[in-house]
Structure 1
Amino acid sequence: MILIVDDKYENLFSLKTLLQLYAYDTDTAASGEEALKKILKNEYSVIILDVQMPDMDGYEVAEAISGLNKTRDIPIIFLSAVNIDKRFIAKGYDSGGVDYITKPFDNDLLLMKVKTFHRLYTQRQELKQVEEALRREIEIRKKSQQEVEQINSLLEFKVEERTRDLLQLNKDLENRNAELAQYAYLASHDLQEPLRKIITFIKIIEEKYLKNIPEAKTEMSKVITSSERMRNLINALLSYSKLSAVSLFTPVNVNEVVKDALADLELTIKEKQALIDVTHLPEIEAIPGQMRQMFQNLLSNALKFSKTGVRPQINICHEAVNELSLEAAPDKNGKFIRIHITDNGIGLDESYIDKIFVIFQRLHGKAQYEGTGIGLAIVKKIVEKHNGIIGVKSREGEGSTFTIVLPVKQSNSTN
């Protein structure tokens, strides 16, 4: 809207009519005081201000308008029929005007200037709105950033707190596991001596007093068999508990380890006429005794669960891979060794695979196959202690393949 300020009604009427012909909204004021009151209440894009007015002239009105934050940006066009000297024009600019038109004026020139200043004012207001919107957006983003930083700080504190709690829990758990392992070792070790005496004296009784009593001798043989089974179970528990102890990783020739394990199983291999095929295996960082126990348990299982009347065949081969994976593609420069132990034994239903590595878990009856149910649990624990993984593929009646993936180099020297 455009404000016209003039103390003469005919001037107000003519200017208002001219501007309305070109679709400009207009307002009028007949004095400087009235103009200031309206300016404080309404928003104007241009002010056309007469210089010669009683009480308060145009210069004073312009100075008052320019001195207010709300109105200082409104363009003021001075109109004067009397004060046309250059010094009056200069005073108009000094008091805050943007243009000075003398009467009589050209209507087209006035309209052009009104249009220009109206457009500039409108653009300036739009720019202010954009700047205000940007300012609010920046404030919102700053506030959001502060909130995010506060949340992150709180999360970091919670994570640190939770990490400390978990570290303490892990430490407590390690201490308890060590205590349990020590207790299991001591308990199993202390059971060995009385059990040894029981077996010894039962055999003495059997040989000395039961030779001529077949029925009693048969029953006593059952006692000896149960006692031997108990001794095997205690030995297995001792082996399992020892795996929790800290051990040193050293370079291990896996070929020598497999050779030693096969030597321990020599009688069973000859008895079953088993064929064992072993490819050349690389050197890795490992715990020698545990590696030997791992291979011995796996080979013993392959021999134990062979098919009746079928010559056992066991193949041990390997390939290098570059990730800890049972399925990764071979890579001759890989940082891991993947070992496959394949047999042609009785196999098993793959739906039971998860159970075979659980301690005391047996899939076959004691009458069919002897064992403690700890062997494969020990194998899995040894593999995990070496930061590796183990898996098995099998089909009933066709055999099994156990696959072990181990790092060639251990990141820690002890475990």
Structure 2
Amino acid sequence: KNRELAALNAELTAFNEFAVNDYGQALKKLYTSLEQVVRQDAQHFSDTGKANMRKAQASIQKLKLLTEDIVTFYRLPHIDTQRSAVDLNDIIADAISGELSEKLNDAKLTIESAELPVVEGYPMLLSLMYFHLIENAIRFSPANEKVAVSYEKHIGSRQHFPHVENEAFHKITIMHKGAGFDAANASEIFKLSFRNTESARFRSTGIGLPVSKKIMDLHKGYISATVGQDDSTRYDCYFPIL
């Protein structure tokens, strides 16, 4: 059994290297070649031909992003190997700096965060998870609204989690206005195979939530998502209190 697992891991590693190097480079070269055709021979194309060429480039770019995200997904257990005490206040502050800060401003959104706890975990992975969750909130929120980050202690039960009875959790909630997915798909959106039709309207591969689920699994925790009757969306992350 161990030999079979070792062989599967070796195959997965080989696939990752292929996806990052050969496949990724091929997509990049294809995109660049199309760009040269568009620039040099645009005068010979009809408007329809130009539009189709741009659509092809957009599809190649999305395929490249999806490949990179899938590789990241399978590399998650190896990205951050050192567990430590992680202040989630710092994680949220880091997540909304840089690129997300610009997106918040562009979307005319504000973010309000409660005082969050310190948890035992992997800093880089938690930063990646909250980047994805807050980016999702920005993507689906209407303008001039706020994204709220709240905290409470929660006692879990088998009604909500498998294999849990009277276990204490840190519950971190990200809530925003706007439905990011159909409520009927709440149990499916964390699966790698799920494709959210709402994500198709954005430059997104839709893999952020499966990545977040994988990260919570690595922390022995849980994540859930719900859409309220007022079309608000909330993501609840449960970290076991050690």
Same fold (TM over 0.5): yes
Give the Cα–Cα distance (whole angstroms) in 2 for the partners of residues 343 and 390 of structure 1: 16
Give the Cα–Cα distance (whole angstroms) in 2 for the partners of residues 365 and 390 of structure 1: 20
Distance 1:275 1:219, change over 3 A: same
Distance 1:226 1:242, change over 3 A: same
Give 1 or 2: higher strand fraction: 2
Partner of 1:403: 236
**SS in structure 1 of the partner of residue 179 of structure 2:** coil
Does structure 2 conserve the Cα–Cα contact (< 8 Å) formed by 1:349 and 1:395? no
Give the Cα–Cα distance (whole angstroms) in 2 for the partners of residues 270 and 326 of structure 1: 40
Partner of 2:103: 268
- Tell me if 1:198 matches 2:33: no
Give the Cα–Cα distance (whole angstroms) in 2 for the partners of residues 180 and 283 of structure 1: 37
Which ranges of structure 1 fall in alignment gaps of 5 or more residues? Answer: 1-168, 329-333, 410-415
Q: Among 371, 377, 383, which residue is 2:210 paired with?
A: 377
Does structure 2 conserve the Cα–Cα contact (< 8 Å) formed by 1:348 and 1:397? no
Q: Cα deviations across residues 305-357 of structure 1 (Å, max 9, x unaligned)?
A: 234xx4342101112346578979xxxxx963210011111254433211101
TM-score by length of 1: 0.51
Q: Which amino acid aligns with 2:222?
A: I
**SS in structure 2 of the partner of residue 231 of structure 1:** helix
**What is the aligned-residue RMSD (CA, Å)?**
2.8
Q: Which amino acid aligns with 1:351?
A: A
Does structure 1 conserve the Cα–Cα contact (< 8 Å) formed by 2:87 and 2:117? yes
Give the Cα–Cα distance (whole angstroms) in 2 for the partners of residues 326 and 311 of structure 1: 37
Does structure 1 conserve the Cα–Cα contact (< 8 Å) formed by 2:86 and 2:120? yes
Give the Cα–Cα distance (whole angstroms) in 1 for the partners of residues 64 and 140 of structure 2: 22
Q: CA deviation at 1:389?
A: 0.8
Q: Among 64, 71, 74, which residue is 1:241 paired with?
A: 74
The alignment covers a number of residue pairs equal to 233
Give the Cα–Cα distance (whole angstroms) in 1 for the partners of residues 157 and 90 of structure 2: 24
**SS in structure 2 of the partner of residue 188 of structure 1:** helix
Give the Cα–Cα distance (whole angstroms) in 2 for the partners of residues 392 and 200 of structure 1: 39
Identity of aligned residues (%): 21
Partner of 2:136: 301
Distance 1:340 1:244, change over 3 A: same
TM-score by length of 2: 0.83
Aligned pairs (5 A) from 1:78-93: none
Distance 1:218 1:360, change over 3 A: same
- Tell me if 1:257 matches 2:91: yes
Q: Cα deviations across residues 31-80 of structure 1 (Å, max 9, x unaligned)?
A: xxxxxxxxxxxxxxxxxxxxxxxxxxxxxxxxxxxxxxxxxxxxxxxxxx
Partner of 1:280: 115
Give the Cα–Cα distance (whole angstroms) in 1 for the partners of residues 4 and 186 of structure 2: 28
Partner of 1:138: none
**SS in structure 2 of the partner of residue 243 of structure 1:** helix
Does structure 2 conserve the Cα–Cα contact (< 8 Å) formed by 1:272 and 1:311? yes
Q: CA deviation at 1:214?
A: 5.2
Q: Among 6, 9, 13, which residue is 1:182 paired with?
A: 13
Q: Cα deviations across residues 257-282 of structure 1 (Å, max 9, x unaligned)?
A: 21222123123212111111112222
